[in-house]
A and B are shown apart, each in its own frame.
Chain A
Amino acid sequence: MSDATTQAPVSGGQQKISKIHETIIRIAGNSQDGIQAIGGFLARLAGRSEQDVMTFMTIPSTISGGPSIFQVRIGSGEVLSAGDEADMLLCFYQHSYEDHISSLKLGGIVLYDSDHVTPKPEWQDNYRHVGVSISSLTVEAIGGTGRDKGKNIYSLGLLAKIFDLNVEKLTMLVTERFTGKDPSVVQNALACFNAGYNHSLDNLLKTYQFYASEKLDRHQVVMNGNEALGYGLIAAGVRFGAGYPITPWSDIMELLRRELPKYGGMFIQCEDEIASISMALGGSYAGRVAVTGSSGPGISLKTEALGWAVMAEMPLVIVDVQRGGPSTGMPTSIEQSDLNIVCFGGHGDSPRVVIAPSSVEDCFHTAIEAVNVARKYSTPVIILTDQAIATRIEAFEEPNLEKLCQDISPDLAPVSDHKPYDLTANDGVTRHIAPGTRVASGKYPIVTGLEHDELGHPTGSSKLHTAMTAKRRNKLRKLALELPMPKTYGPNEGQILLVSWGSSQGPIREAVDRARSVGEAISGLHIKYINPLPNGLDEIFKGFRHIFVVELNDEGLYGYGQLAGVLRARYCDARIRGINKSDGLPWKVKEILERARTLASGK
């Protein structure tokens, strides 16, 4: 909110209005307070107001209780990350207040529930404190049931007042959200909202108003990364899948289980992750690219069957929503430490495809691309996403579904003859025929994990093993030729190149913007296609003195993270170094820049 420019007196009120481009609000309470709901409403509203929005949340891994936060950043321009420091902290309890004051920028506003929070005198100078007895006023608003359920909606009303939000749209969102439940629920929610909105907010100095956003051609949709990925798979034509629950992957399987039947498809909950990938492979074999997925522990279990998919050249999409590992690790924390397992996990030489989406919107398109790659190259494709993208909510331009939705149903037309592993095929790529396809020659294919001849029958021939190994490798080299070269963010020459993958794209871009604004020659490079890598990255590297790969994983035994290791192996370039961390939190822009400057200065 620091970029407040004009100030105009509010008619009739004592507060001034300050125009802002964006704001970052952190809401802190306990997990049962419905904090996610406030964030969700704000994000939805931003989407409907053509504003950009990004959120970040932490949920405790225990089911009930425990501190929880939701941070939402709303802006009239492009929002690249959930933000380093908040402009406002809305806190429900003393612990929320004390634990999160450090995330507030100097001069920021603490909006606290005076029923539960006693402000500290020593913090009064640095932050503007605004107390509202949120709990008791909520109880009063809904007629005194003695329960403060609804204080999240009451707070939403307060925020609507402070930021001059569109009350009509918010009222509609609240109504939509609770419709279908007991009518009194909607009534109570609106009562809470209105009570909050009509609070006088006496000790607030000013209220805020967003600059108008540019008009967009298409409407915005608002969802989190897991939803975008799930719907992307549906758009891609996937109609069969199997999985086993694990946070944060479960959302995707729940979505597919719920949605696929509408399209005549099905998603099966299996007894474990091995069964899941096996069943999905059965579905793919039966004729249509299927999906399975998991998070760390489940991905480990799937590796043997993944090797079969490579050997049998069976298309499949595997989603890995990364979380903190190894083992059960940090189930609800953010980490990018599965790159090695998805690229290399398993025995034998087993090349496969790995694509990492960079944002919620990108999840949708990556899902479609993954299916297309799987079909075209008859290969397993891993979509490597992470907890940060999975749970954060973004608004993005609605995709053109009529154009994007694809039909990938199997072709069962008879063929004259068929060799699944034809070594002389024009493009060197296997195309399976699904069971049910009649082969006029009377010779039927076997798909197999044993090394095989062209018909899929086992062979011990070293010549064939060499030829087939090359076949499986070469098709992915071919794919590499087709992959678009990533472009630098900022000029393609300079001092420092910050290389990112996955959810770090936003923070890196913001870091580049910030550094450039003070004259530093820093650019960014985001890598989406992780395995195979597109060719020619070394050309980009040439333009920079330092290449820092920024990853949310450990610096490892040799001082650089997992993607950095791959890039060093690929390009033998010792200038490639790592900026890594494993605190389970997304990157702060400040953190990236400080680390990059220190590393570049050789300290």
Chain B
Amino acid sequence: MSELAIPFQTLPRTGGNLTHITVPPLPDAERKGLTKKEIAADHPTWCPGCGDFSVLALYFKLIEKRKLHHEKVTTIAGIGCSSRFPYFVQAHGAHFIHGRALPFASGVSLSRPDLHVFVFGGDGDAFSIGGNHFSHTARKNIKMTYVVMDNWVYGLTKKQTSPTSPLGFKSKTDTWGAVDQPINPMKQAISAGATFVARTTHTNPNHVLQMMEAAMDHDGFSFVECLSECIEFYEGAFDASNPRKGGTFTTVPADHDVTDEIAAYKLSGEPFPGHFGIFYKATRPTKNANEAGVNRAAMSKTGGMKDWQILQKTFDRLK
């Protein structure tokens, strides 16, 4: 019985356990930061003028500025125009299925503490098909940065109502105007238990970069809603927030206490264009840390034993 038809194949490996991955030393420890050219991959397939271009450009800038190396960054997305993101970045990436990028990214984050995990996606991906995953990833505080490029519409499938479409928006599925109360992403994130909640818009590059950087530095699940105009199907959606289009861009009031959940919730309820900046930031142990704690406790009892010896001990009790 114990002869395996398909035996184990030896592959070179790094060893170590899952929460303490040892990465082989890099040949040139003195590596320079990457240039934009080195970070850019495929030319984006987005419509000219799409807001998503600026989010991508600022992600490049973030990698450049923070001197992140290709292999340290993992870009993950679901499905949608915005979710095409990983193809445009020269780094490890995964293009998963519609709405499920967060659990996929959680698998990466939890098993690879050595990586920066970034997730990009659209409003439908995040709050409709992926709504439940959003809540659970937030409450578990799994370490990653999630940027939702909110265009208030389904872009890829060509103009259907999205969960963030405002009442009255005329789409192909609501030709008379949207009738369902939209989701407020900021409220959603705060009430789900996200520990970093920020809002920005693609028309203010410096602000986008600032928010992404703060999100990346946050130890936990960091969520950034970035308004990103769909020039094709919802032109002018965010004009009221764009000074160049006669709108106003107002940052979060200087006296806003980012640790005050109620204040953050209130701020989220402001009528459009509302405020931009960090609404909420809390310190709470990440799931990554909690699981590492569980492992430390368990391994303190098995410490030093080989894996087969640990299993042998269990089998001895099954005799």
Contact = CB atoms under 8 A, between A and B. Distances in A.
B296 to A, nearest CB: 9
A280 B106 CA distance: 9
B299 A275 contact: no
A376 B6 contact: yes
B314 A285 contact: no
Contacts of B181: none
A288 B18 contact: yes
Interface string A265-307: 1101011101110111111111110100000000000001100
Main SS of chain A's interface residues? mixed
Interface stretch (A96-104, A160-168, A394-402, A567-575): A394-402
Contacts of A221: 315, 318-319
A357 to B, nearest CB: 11
B134 to A, nearest CB: 10
Interface stretch (A109-117, A330-338, A409-417, A550-558): A409-417
A448 B94 contact: yes
A261 B87 contact: no
Interface in B52-94: 69-72, 74, 76, 86-87, 90-94
B281 to A, nearest CB: 24
A372 interface: yes
Contact of B92 (A48, A266, A410, A436): A436
Given A414-B24, A449-B97, A240 B9 contact: no
Contact of B314 (A259, A276, A406, A412): A259
Given A262-B302, A268-B106, A436-B21, A409 B315 contact: no
B71 A436 contact: yes
A408 B17 CA distance: 10
A263 B92 contact: no
Contact of B69 (A368, A413, A438, A529): A438
Given A278-B103, A436-B115, A304 B97 contact: yes
Contacts of A449: 95-97
A461 interface: no
B209 to A, nearest CB: 22
A235 interface: yes
Which residue of B86, B105, B318 has the most chain A CB atoms within 10 A of its CB atom?
Answer: B318
Contacts of B310: 262-263
A220 B308 CA distance: 17
B304 interface: no
A268 B318 contact: no
Contacts of A483: 5
B26 A402 contact: no
B160 to A, nearest CB: 20
Interface in B183-208: none
7 closest A-B pairs by CB = A282-B107, A264-B17, A261-B298, A435-B92, A278-B103, A405-B308, A275-B103
Given A261-B297, A282-B105, A372-B9, 4 more contacts: A222-B319, A278-B96, A286-B108, A448-B95
9 contacts: A221-B318, A264-B18, A270-B136, A282-B103, A285-B94, A312-B94, A368-B4, A409-B17, A435-B74
